[in-house]
Structure 1
Amino acid sequence: MSHLTLRDVEVNGEPEVDVRVENGTVVRIGPRLAGDDPDAVDGRGGALLPGLHDNHIHLMALAAALDSVDCRATTDADTFARLLRTAPRGGTLRVVGYDDSIAGPLDAAALDRMLPDRPVRVQYRTGGVWVLNSAALRRHPEVPRDGILVRGDALLRDGSAGFPDLARVARLLAAHGVTGVTDATPDLDGAAARHLAESHANGTLPQRLLLLGAGDADCPADLLGPRKMVIDEWNPPDLDAMAARIGQCHARGRNVAIHCTTRTETVLAVAALDRAGARAGDRLEHGGVIPREYDAWLRAHEVAVVTQPNFVAERGEEYVHRVDRDDLAVLYRARSLDTAGITVAGGTDAPFGGVDPWAAMAAAQHRSTSHGRCLGASERLTGARALALFTVDPLRLGRGRTVEPGAPADLCLLDRPLADALRQPGEVRVRATFVAGNRIPAQRLGGSRGPLPDRRAGR
C-alpha cells in the first residue's frame, strides 16, 4: 500500500491540519495525523488545494516553443533582424511570438532580407500562421511560395525528428501546480495522438490528460474530451456541413469544443450548434467576443465557455488599438457570463498564452493590460472565482473539485495560506505538486513568470 502524509497544511480554510493519502486517494484530514512519520511532507502552513487543471493548452507546441527563439520582447524591425542573425547556429531556426507590430507583415521575401542563408520559420503569437524564408521553403515545397502557411502545422512536421519529449513540459506545469491538462490542438493525426497518450501512460507526462483533437480510434477512450472544431472568420465553414459534423460527434457520444475568438466566429459557432442541436457539455473555446444576446441561449443549452483571462494582460494593448470598440466592451467576458449562469472554465492556451495559471488568475481579478489600462472592470472576478476556473472537473466544467476524503490525491501545495494567495495570485509559489499521491518533479522557476522561460534556441 502506497501512502503519503502532509503535515501542517491549510485545507478548506482550516489551518494546521494533516492529510493522509493511501493508494492515490485522500483518506483522512485532521490534526496530528503525521505523528513521527519521517517521510511526512511539511506544508509549513501553506494551503493544500486540488491540483490545477489547464482546460486549454497545446502540449507539443509548448514543448517545441521551449527550444525556440522567443521574439516577443523585440520592438522593431532592426532588433528582430539582429535576433535572427545572432541566434545560435544549427538547423532550421524556429521563432515564436511574432506580431506585425514588431517588423510589419512578414512573407518569404521579407525574411530573406533579414536572414537569407539559413532556413527560418516564424510563428505568429496567435499560433495559426507560420512564415518561412526561401531556404526553409526548399525543405517544404508544399508550402505556398510566398512562405505564408495558415493552419498547416502538419506540413512542417519532420517525421525523421519524431515528436518532442514532454518531460520538460511536465516539470514546467508541475512548478505551477498543474495536475491535469486538456490538449486543445485540433485535428491531431493518429501518430501525434498516440505520442501524447504514450507519454502519459509511461509517466513522461504524469498529469491527467484529455485530448480534444484526437479521433475516436486514435487513443484510449478515457483520454477523449469533446471533439475540437475550428472556425476561422476569414474562411467561414458551410453551416450545414458543420452542423452535420456536430451531429455525428453527438451520435458517437462526444461533445464538441468549437474554437471562436471573434464576434463573427462566435455567431457561426452558435448557429451551427443550434442547427445541429446543442448538447449539455458542448464548449466554446476562447469566447473572445460573446455578444450578450447569446447568454440566455448558452445557459439554456448548457454550453460552457473555456476562456483565457491572461490574454487581457498579455495582449490588452494590442486589443485596444485593433479591436472594434463595441467588441472591447465584451472582450473575454468572465463575471457577466458567471452571473448569467453560464459555466466558465479557464485555460492558458500555452504556448500562445502564458503557461502560468496563477498569472491568468491575477489577470482575471485585475483586467489590466501591460500598461496598466483596465479592460472591462465589470468583468473582474474575485480571487476565489478566478481560482475556480482552474479547479473544475475537466469533463464536467460546472463541477468544482475539493480536497476531501475519497477525492483523488491530485494536489497542489502552496507557499502561503489561501487568503494570501487569492489576494496576490501572481506572487504565489507552488511548494509541491502531486498526482495520485505521487510528487511530480518540478522545474525551478526564476523571477520571471512570463509566458515562457527566457530561452534562446540551443541553450
Structure 2
Amino acid sequence: MLDLILDNARIRTLDDDRPGARTIGLWGGRIVGFDDDVRSLNAKRRINLDGATVLPGFNDVHCHTTWYGLTLASIDCTALPGGLDEVYRRIEDAARTTPEGDWINATGYGHRDYGGQYPDLDVLDRITGDRPLFLRQQSGHSAIVNTAAMERAGMLAPGFADPVGGRVVRDAGGRPTGLVEETAQELIQDLVRPYSLDTVVDCVDRATAGYASEGITSFGECGIFAGWIGHSPLEVHAYQLAREQGKLRARAQLLPMADGLHSIASHSADGYGIGLDTGLRTGFGDDWLSIGPVKIFMDGAMSGETAAMREDYAGRDTAGYLQDDPEKLRRTILDAYRSGWSLAVHAIGDLAVDHAVRNIVEAVDTYGRRSVPNRIEHAGTVHDEHLPALAEYGIAVTPQAAFARDIGAGMNVSAGPDRRRLLYRARSFVDAGVMLAGSSDRPCADGNALRGIQAFVDRLTSTGDVMGSADECLTAEQAVTAYTRTAAEASGHGAVKGTLTPGKLADLVVLGDDPLSVDPTTIKDIDVVATLVGGDFTHSTL
C-alpha cells in the first residue's frame, strides 16, 4: 500500500525521459511511479488535486537561514516609506524598551533606498544613548553602528587599525561615520556572539517554516560557524537539534566558512592541508543534513561598491577590494581543496571572478575533480572569456536574479553603461553549458522562490529598467530548472532529487497554477498549495 497518491494533477517532472504525468505515487519518502503504474494501487491517502500543478520542490542553494531567522526578530529598516525619519523613529522606539547597556539589533538598511544616505551618527547616538546599535545593511557586507558599539569594539582607541579585508569608514576629518565594512563587522559581532544553541534552533524554526510556505524543500546555508557570517561554532549541532525537534522543515546543505578551517596533525602521507577536527569534509551527512563546499570570500558586495573590480566604479575613484592578499586567498583555496573540500568561492567583481576562476581551475588541475561541484557564489560580473572554463570544469554559478527589484538599479549605476551587461548574467551561462543554480542570498534579497523564478525571466528593477541586460532573461522553463534540477546537481545531489523520477526523494511542491504557462509577470503571484519533503507535508492548504 502506498503512502500517498496525488491524482488529477498537471505534473511537470523536469525529467527529460518523462516530462509530464497526471498521477504520482509516493511510498517510504520516495517517488514510486506515475499514472497507470500507480493509479490502481491502494494508498493510505489519495488526493484529487483538481488540475493543480506539481513540480519538484524548490532548492535555494545560497541563502543564510540562521541570519534570516534573526532578522525576523529584529527591527526592520527595509525601504521604509517615511525615509530616514522613520528609521530613526523605529530605532528610538526600540531604545525606549531596551535596558541600558543592552544591544539594539536592526536589519535591512539599503542606502540607495534612502537617496544614497546613511544614518547620521550624532542622531543615532542621541536616540540610543549607551545602548550599542548594530544595524545591518541589506547586503550583509556592511553595517551601521553607533558610538557605544564602536567604543566596545575598540574602534575608537588610539592606534586602531582597520582589519584585513574590511574598514571603519571615516569622514574627511578622520572621524568614524558609523559605517563598518566587510570583516570590520566581526569586531562588533564578536561582542554578541556566539549565539546560544536555543537561539539558532529558534531561528531555523522560524525561517524554514517560511520556506515551507514558499515551496522550498532544500537550501544551502552559505557560511556557518566562523567569519562575519557565522553565528556559533556549534551551528552544525544546532541544526541537528532542529532536525531532532521537528523544527527543520527543509533539507539543509551546510557550507562552513574557510575562516574556521585550520591545520591538522595528520600523517605526512595524507598530504593534508586545512580542515576540521575528525576530518569532516564536503559530502558528509545524509539526505536531511549534509556538509557542502567550503565558503571562501574573495571580495565584497556590488551594492556597497566593495566588490573587487578591474576598473573603478562608474564616477568613483574606487574599484573595491579583495578580502585578503591574492596569494593568501589562492593558498587557502588550494589547501582546502587538497584536503577534500569542494569550493564555494564568493566572487562578485570581475577582478574577484578572475582570481576565483583561475584558482579553482588550478585546484582541479592539480588535485582532480570532486563529486560535489565547485561553485562561484554570486558570479556577479563575469566576462565572456570565463564561460568556456566554467563549463569545461563543471563550475556552478549562483547569480541572484532576486537582486533585480531592490538593488538592481543601483548596481546598474555602479557598473556603468559599458559593464552593466555583465551583471548577474543568466542566459549566457545556460547557453554556454554552465550550471546555473537558483538562489536568493536571503535575507539580502526576497527569498521567495517564485519571485526568484520570475526575476530570472524579467530581471525588472524598481525603476522599470532591467538589471544588467535583457539578453540575460531566461525562459520560465529555464528558470524553474535552475531552482530544481540544476540546483540539485550543483549541490551534488542530482542523483536523489531535483526531478520527479521514480526512486528519488518525494520532495515536491503543489502550485495553484503552472509557472511554465501563465503570463510570466504573474509567476510570483501563484499560490503555493502544498509542500512535501520526503512525502510528508511541511505546508498544506489542501
CA distance in 2, matches of 1:182, 1:370: 27
Secondary structure class of the residue paired with 1:130: strand
CA distance in 2, matches of 1:287, 1:364: 15
Secondary structure class of the residue paired with 2:243: helix
CA distance in 1, matches of 2:473, 2:211: 25
Matches within 5 A, 1:267-346: 267-277=354-364, 279=369, 281-346=373-438
Matches within 5 A, 1:370-385: 370-375=462-467, 376-385=469-478
Give, in angstroms, the shift of residue 160 of structure 1.
6.8
**One-letter code of the match for 2:408?**
G
Q: 1:434 aligns with which of 519, 532, 540?
A: 532
Give, in angstroms, the shift of residue 395 of structure 1.
5.7
Matches within 5 A, 1:381-396: 381-392=474-485, 394=487, 396=489
CA distance in 1, matches of 2:211, 2:190: 28
Secondary structure class of the residue paired with 2:4: strand
Question: Aligned pair 1:230/2:297, yes or no?
Answer: yes
Q: How many residues align?
A: 442
Where does residue 336 of structure 2 map in the other structure? 249
CA deviations on 1:264-296 (whole Å, 9 max, x unpaired) are 221222233244346462111001111111112
Secondary structure class of the residue paired with 1:363: helix
Where does residue 24 of structure 1 map in the other structure? 29
The farther-off stretch of 78-87 and 212-221 is 212-221
Measured at CA, do residues 254 and 45 of structure 1 come closer, stay the same or move farther in structure 2, by a change above 3 Å? same
CA distance in 1, matches of 2:341, 2:487: 14
Give, in angstroms, the shift of residue 363 of structure 1.
0.9
Measured at CA, do residues 418 and 132 of structure 1 come closer, stay the same or move farther in structure 2, by a change above 3 Å? closer
CA distance in 2, matches of 1:126, 1:392: 27
Where does residue 311 of structure 2 map in the other structure? none
CA contact (8 A) 1:286 1:306 kept: yes
CA contact (8 A) 1:8 1:15 kept: no
Give, in angstroms, the shift of residue 381 of structure 1.
0.1
Where does residue 98 of structure 1 map in the other structure? 109
Give, in angstroms, the shift of residue 148 of structure 1.
4.4
Measured at CA, do residues 430 and 287 of structure 1 come closer, stay the same or move farther in structure 2, by a change above 3 Å? same
CA distance in 2, matches of 1:342, 1:282: 12
CA deviations on 1:25-48 (whole Å, 9 max, x unpaired) are 111321683889683333221111
Question: Aligned pair 1:206/2:242, yes or no?
Answer: no
Measured at CA, do residues 311 and 296 of structure 1 come closer, stay the same or move farther in structure 2, by a change above 3 Å? same
Q: 1:89 aligns with which of 97, 110, 113?
A: 97
Give, in angstroms, the shift of residue 330 of structure 1.
0.8
Give, in angstroms, the shift of residue 133 of structure 1.
1.6
Secondary structure class of the residue paired with 2:447: coil
The farther-off stretch of 34-43 and 347-356 is 34-43
CA deviations on 1:91-129 (whole Å, 9 max, x unpaired) are 532211112332723575452144335432111111022
CA distance in 1, matches of 2:195, 2:426: 43
**One-letter code of the match for 2:333?**
I
TM-score in terms of structure 1 length: 0.87
CA distance in 1, matches of 2:334, 2:250: 31
Where does residue 134 of structure 1 map in the other structure? 147
CA distance in 1, matches of 2:155, 2:488: 37
Where does residue 155 of structure 1 map in the other structure? 190
CA distance in 2, matches of 1:80, 1:37: 55
Where does residue 499 of structure 2 map in the other structure? 402
Structure 2 spans left out of the alignment, 5+ residues:
14-18, 158-175, 262-275, 300-307, 309-320
Identity among equivalent pairs (%): 24
Give, in angstroms, the shift of residue 299 of structure 1.
1.9
Question: Aligned pair 1:221/2:284, yes or no?
Answer: yes
Question: Aligned pair 1:185/2:223, yes or no?
Answer: yes
**One-letter code of the match for 1:308?**
Q
CA distance in 1, matches of 2:43, 2:505: 22
CA distance in 2, matches of 1:377, 1:396: 26
Measured at CA, do residues 119 and 332 of structure 1 come closer, stay the same or move farther in structure 2, by a change above 3 Å? same
Give, in angstroms, the shift of residue 434 of structure 1.
0.8
Question: Aligned pair 1:176/2:214, yes or no?
Answer: yes
Higher relative contact order (CA 8 A, sep 6+): 1
TM-score in terms of structure 2 length: 0.74
The farther-off stretch of 53-62 and 323-332 is 323-332
CA deviations on 1:346-398 (whole Å, 9 max, x unpaired) are 11000011110111111111111112112311000000000111103656329
CA contact (8 A) 2:24 2:35 kept: yes
CA distance in 1, matches of 2:472, 2:444: 22
Give, in angstroms, the shift of residue 422 of structure 1.
7.2
Structure 1 spans left out of the alignment, 5+ residues:
445-459
Measured at CA, do residues 82 and 168 of structure 1 come closer, stay the same or move farther in structure 2, by a change above 3 Å? same
The farther-off stretch of 112-121 and 229-238 is 112-121
Measured at CA, do residues 198 and 392 of structure 1 come closer, stay the same or move farther in structure 2, by a change above 3 Å? farther
| RMSD value, Cα | 2.9
